């Protein structure tokens, strides 16, 4: 029997390069932006509690510094911080971070970096640790970080000779950071947004103010001074809490984000209950595509909502961009689905309806301007006169009472269906009576479905109003109320739905339908019914032309440039 066969209960050691391992851990934060966010976190942590933080990025000299006025670090605390690297929980309860990697996060993204600090309440006694990427990589076993005293630095207001007064208590300084454009790219607004997303709770508690200065390669300087934590400013929704055995209690503290120039841009943040750290929901969504429906992800990343979702039993992933994938993660996703089905979907539907109304209003006004310009041509004077003939119908809720335009004679509402007697007051020929059109008052807004005020598009100089309604079950694409001066488009009609995917096609449809409605209204009442049928049949070809005409005309079949709200 061979000697090797007799070997039992032996052990084989695992040997690895400690320097390379540390560099690998620092790669958890692959960009300079992520590094700065980690350094800011260290300034905000429970033991430091800085309320002033200064960030300077000099792209000309490739130098970066993050300074703060916090409590500083003693030798013992610094050694403990290094010992906590990649050991969850070592930083202590209440800390923003759990893994301690932030301290060595610059490694590999700069030639070297230094940490200088003086523990409070002392004004002297600064110490400096130097981390050299090349030096650390050479250390295969124990890694030693050079330390030296800095007696030349002081916080005294009137420093003695040989000392330099500094305004900060701790400084992390990166020398020769990477020239790689992707790794070193730090858009100033993205940096500030990231800080406010992640650390707003702690910043509010510490009353922290942050200043950022970026010196670009061409020498231009970009500054953001007195940056503070952003409060949620939207309409508060009821706080909802869902409990399941996997994730514990999940709390939804959400708001309807306020409207801004381009809609809403609210951000939903995710965190662990009891930890102030937050990250954007879209980070979690990337990890939960198999657990969350597309419509739920769309709703929470649409900008409609802002606020935070906190999970009791979840754990932060080491990269701080999501949560650990475990039973608590699945339970959180179940709670999010439950919240959406019970509450979120309702608000989303309302928001979609509001955005749709706003879009139709904007496109309606644009179409009116096109038609108004067109009707300035004398060739279209008859159509312009038709609009002038419109009177005031029965006013809807919250509107003034209608007033007769002919001394009290009865007027009937024209629904545009072509039946006799459905038009405005007519002459013996069946044409609109324009004899006293100069006395006709501006159209009033009539009532909408179920008596609610009808939302219409108004242009004071045009004289015709547009309304957009879901005429459920109606085969009509449009109807004209001549007494109220309102042309209503059926937004549930197949022709409308086919054209609404692009702004330009929807405007063309509105403009063509307006011409149809006004032309039909010029005809004798007795002829309108048959003419309306003919127009409706022709609309199939009209819509086909609207949808495909530009495409056919465009060289090589390319679609023309167009803006769309979709």
Three-class HEC string of 384-451 = HHHHHHCCCCCCCCCCCCCCCCCCCCCCCCCCCCCCCCCCCCECCCCCECCCCHHHCCCCCCCECHHH
Question: 188 and 33 in contact (C-beta within 8 Å)?
Answer: no
Question: 186 and 57 in contact (C-beta within 8 Å)?
Answer: yes
Question: Are residue 222 and residue 335 in the same domain, yes or no?
Answer: no
Question: Are residue 159 and residue 44 in the same domain, yes or no?
Answer: yes
Q: Where is average pLDDT lowest: 131-145, 320-334, 501-515?
A: 131-145
Question: 97 and 91 in contact (C-beta within 8 Å)?
Answer: yes
Question: Are residue 249 and residue 321 in the same domain, yes or no?
Answer: yes
pLDDT value, residue 23: 81
pLDDT at 417 over 80: no
Read off the pLDDT band of 431 (50, 70, 90): very low
515 φ, ψ (degrees, to nearest 5):
-60, -40
SS (H, E, C) 107-163: CCCEEEEEEEECCCCCCCCEEEEEEEHHHHHHCCCCCCCCEEEECCEECCCCCCCCC
Show the tokens assigned to 479: 């109807």
- Whether 562 is covered by a domain: the verdict is no
Q: Where is average pLDDT lowest: 45-49, 73-77, 361-365?
A: 45-49
Question: Are residue 401 and residue 330 in the same domain, yes or no?
Answer: no
Query: Which of 229, 224, 226 lies closest to 196, judged by CA?
Result: 229
Read off the pLDDT band of 269 (50, 70, 90): very high
Read off the pLDDT band of 321 (50, 70, 90): confident
pLDDT value, residue 8: 64
Query: Which of 177, 169, 60 lies closest to 111, judged by CA?
Result: 177
Show the tokens assigned to 298: 């769309």
Q: What gap in Å lies between CA 32 and CA 3, rounded to an integer?
A: 55
Read off the pLDDT band of 472 (50, 70, 90): confident
- The string of pLDDT tens digits covering residues 204-247 is 999 999 999 999 999 999 999 999 998 899 999 999 999 999 99
Question: Are residue 22 and residue 72 in the same domain, yes or no?
Answer: yes
Q: Which of 401-405, 426-430, 436-440, 556-560 has the largest mean confidence?
A: 556-560
Tell me the angle at which helices 503-522 and 345-375 cross, rounded to the nearest 10 degrees.
60
pLDDT value, residue 24: 83
**Range 361-379 average pLDDT:** 90
3-state secondary structure of 2: coil
State percent of the chain over pLDDT 70.
Answer: 82
Q: What gap in Å lies between CA 45 and CA 284, rounded to an integer?
A: 24
Question: 109 and 35 in contact (C-beta within 8 Å)?
Answer: yes
Question: Are residue 453 and residue 532 in the same domain, yes or no?
Answer: yes
Q: What gap in Å lies between CA 106 and CA 23, rounded to an integer?
A: 9
pLDDT value, residue 442: 43
Range of the domain at 394: 377-557
Q: Which residues touch 4 (CB under 8 Å, ≥6 apart)? A: none
pLDDT value, residue 391: 64
Given 295, 322, 345, the domain boundary residue is: 345
- DSSP-derived secondary structure for 249-309: EEEEEEEEPPEETTEE---EEEEETT---EEEHHHHHHH-TTTS-HHHHHHHTSSSEEEEE
pLDDT value, residue 100: 62
Question: 67 and 168 in contact (C-beta within 8 Å)?
Answer: yes
Q: What gap in Å lies between CA 150 and CA 504, rounded to an integer?
A: 68
- Whether 296 is covered by a domain: the verdict is yes
- Whether 359 is covered by a domain: the verdict is no
Q: Where is average pLDDT lowest: 145-149, 260-264, 290-294, 437-441?
A: 437-441
Given 210, 227, 244, the domain boundary residue is: 227
Asked whether the CA dihedral 83, 88, 93, 96 is positive or negative, the reply is positive
Question: Are residue 431 and residue 383 in the same domain, yes or no?
Answer: yes
Query: Which of 434, 446, 421, 445 lies closest to 528, judged by CA?
Result: 421
Question: 279 and 269 in contact (C-beta within 8 Å)?
Answer: yes
Read off the pLDDT band of 260 (50, 70, 90): confident
**Range 414-434 average pLDDT:** 39
Which helix (H) or strand (E) is 366 found in, with range?
Answer: helix 345-375
Query: Which of 42, 18, 14, 35 lies closest to 145, judged by CA?
Result: 18
Q: Which residue would you say has higher pLDDT here, 8 or 330? A: 330
- Whether 6 is covered by a domain: the verdict is no
pLDDT value, residue 4: 54
Question: Are residue 199 and residue 248 in the same domain, yes or no?
Answer: no
pLDDT value, residue 86: 54
pLDDT at 99 over 80: no
pLDDT at 124 over 80: yes
Looking up residue 190, the CATH number of its domain turns out to be 3.30.565.10
Q: Which residues touch 542 (CB under 8 Å, ≥6 apart)? A: 509, 512
SS (H, E, C) 170-220: EEEEEEEECCCHHHHCCCHHHHHHHHHHHHHHHHHHHCCEEEEEEECCCCC
State percent of the chain over pLDDT 90.
Answer: 54
410 φ, ψ (degrees, to nearest 5):
-70, 140
**Range 116-144 average pLDDT:** 88
Read off the pLDDT band of 261 (50, 70, 90): confident
Show the tokens assigned to 68: 């703060």
pLDDT value, residue 1: 54
Q: What gap in Å lies between CA 374 and CA 381, rounded to an integer?
A: 10
Number of domains forming the structure of the chain: 3
pLDDT value, residue 396: 34
Read off the pLDDT band of 445 (50, 70, 90): very low
Q: Across the beta sheet with 209-215, what order do the strands follow?
A: 147-150, 126-132, 110-117, 170-177, 63-68, 52-58, 209-215, 221-227
The answer to pTM > 0.85 is: no
- The string of pLDDT tens digits covering residues 514-562 is 999 999 999 999 999 999 999 999 999 999 999 987 777 665 555 555 5
Q: What gap in Å lies between CA 102 and CA 85, rounded to an integer?
A: 8
The mean pLDDT of the chain is: 82
pLDDT at 565 over 70: no
- Whether 358 is covered by a domain: the verdict is no
Q: Which residues touch 381 (CB under 8 Å, ≥6 apart)? A: 375
pLDDT value, residue 5: 56
Which helix (H) or strand (E) is 54 found in, with range?
Answer: strand 52-58
pLDDT value, residue 151: 96
Question: 459 and 368 in contact (C-beta within 8 Å)?
Answer: yes
Question: Are residue 263 and residue 179 in the same domain, yes or no?
Answer: no
Question: Are residue 278 and residue 204 in the same domain, yes or no?
Answer: no
- Whether 123 is covered by a domain: the verdict is yes
pLDDT at 278 over 90: yes
Question: Are residue 67 and residue 139 in the same domain, yes or no?
Answer: yes
CA of residue 250 relative to chain centroid, distance: 23
- Whether 458 is covered by a domain: the verdict is yes
pLDDT value, residue 193: 93
- Whether 470 is covered by a domain: the verdict is yes
Residue 469 bridge partners (DSSP): 490
- The string of pLDDT tens digits covering residues 387-411 is 888 864 333 333 333 333 333 333 3
**Range 2-29 average pLDDT:** 73
Question: Are residue 136 and residue 273 in the same domain, yes or no?
Answer: no
pLDDT at 11 over 60: yes
Given 197, 227, 257, the domain boundary residue is: 227
- The string of pLDDT tens digits covering residues 146-170 is 999 999 999 999 999 999 999 999 9
pLDDT at 440 over 60: no
pLDDT value, residue 175: 97
């Amino acid at each position: 029997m061979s000697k090797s066969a007799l070997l039992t209960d032996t052990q084989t050691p695992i040997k690895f390069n400690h320097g390379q391992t540390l560099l690998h851990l620092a790669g958890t934060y692959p960009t300079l932006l992520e590094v700065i966010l980690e350094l800011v976190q260290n300034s905000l942590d429970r033991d430091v509690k800085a309320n002033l933080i200064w960030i300077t990025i000099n792209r000309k000299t490739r130098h970066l510094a993050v300074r703060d006025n916090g409590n500083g670090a003693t030798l013992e605390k610094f050694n403990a911080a290094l010992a906590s690297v990649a050991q969850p929980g070592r930083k202590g309860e209440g800390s923003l971070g759990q893994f301690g990697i932030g301290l060595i996060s610059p490694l590999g993204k700069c030639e070297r970096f230094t940490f200088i600090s003086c523990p409070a309440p002392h004004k002297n006694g600064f110490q400096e640790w130097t981390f050299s990427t090349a030096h650390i990589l050479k250390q295969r076993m124990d890694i030693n970080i050079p330390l030296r005293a800095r007696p030349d630095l002081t916080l005294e207001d009137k420093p003695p000779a040989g000392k330099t007064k500094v305004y900060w208590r701790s400084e992390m300084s990166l020398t020769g950071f990477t020239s790689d454009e992707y790794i070193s790219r730090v858009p100033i607004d993205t940096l500030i947004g990231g800080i406010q997303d992640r650390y707003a709770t702690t910043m509010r508690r510490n009353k922290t103010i942050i200043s950022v200065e970026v010196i670009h390669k061409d020498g231009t300087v970009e500054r953001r001074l007195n940056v503070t934590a952003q409060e949620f400013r939207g309409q508060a929704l009821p706080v909802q809490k869902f409990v399941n055995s996997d994730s514990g209690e999940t709390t939804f503290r959400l708001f309807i984000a306020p409207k801004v120039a381009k809609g809403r841009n609210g951000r939903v943040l995710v965190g662990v209950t009891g930890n102030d750290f937050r990250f954007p929901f879209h980070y979690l969504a990337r990890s939960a595509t198999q657990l969350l429906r597309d419509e739920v992800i769309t709703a929470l990343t649409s900008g409609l909502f802002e606020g935070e979702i906190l999970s009791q039993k979840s754990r932060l992933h080491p990269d701080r961009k999501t949560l650990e994938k475990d039973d608590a993660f699945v339970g959180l996703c179940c709670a999010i689905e439950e919240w959406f089905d019970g509450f979120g979907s309702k608000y989303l539907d309302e928001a979609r309806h509001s955005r749709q109304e706003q879009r139709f209003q904007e496109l309606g006004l644009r179409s009116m301007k096109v038609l108004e310009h067109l009707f300035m041509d004398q060739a279209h004077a008859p159509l312009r006169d038709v609009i002038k003939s419109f009177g005031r119908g029965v006013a809807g809720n919250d509107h003034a009472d209608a007033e007769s335009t002919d001394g009290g004679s009865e007027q009937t509402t024209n629904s545009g269906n072509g039946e006799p007697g459905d038009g405005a007051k007519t002459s013996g020929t069946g044409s609109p009576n324009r004899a006293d059109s100069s006395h006709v008052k501006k159209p009033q807004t009539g009532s909408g479905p179920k008596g609610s005020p009808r939302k219409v598009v108004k242009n004071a100089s045009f004289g015709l109003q547009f309304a957009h309604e879901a005429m459920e079950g109606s085969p009509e694409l449009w109807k004209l109320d001549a007494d109220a001066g309102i042309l209503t488009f059926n937004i549930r009609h197949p022709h409308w739905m086919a054209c609404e995917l692009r702004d330009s096609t929807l405007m063309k449809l509105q403009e063509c339908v307006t011409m149809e409605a006004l032309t039909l209204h010029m005809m004798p009442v007795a002829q309108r019914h048959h003419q309306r049928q003919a127009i409706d049949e022709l609309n199939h070809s009209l819509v086909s032309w609207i949808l495909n005409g530009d495409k056919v005309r465009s060289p090589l079949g390319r679609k023309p440039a167009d803006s769309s709200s979709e």
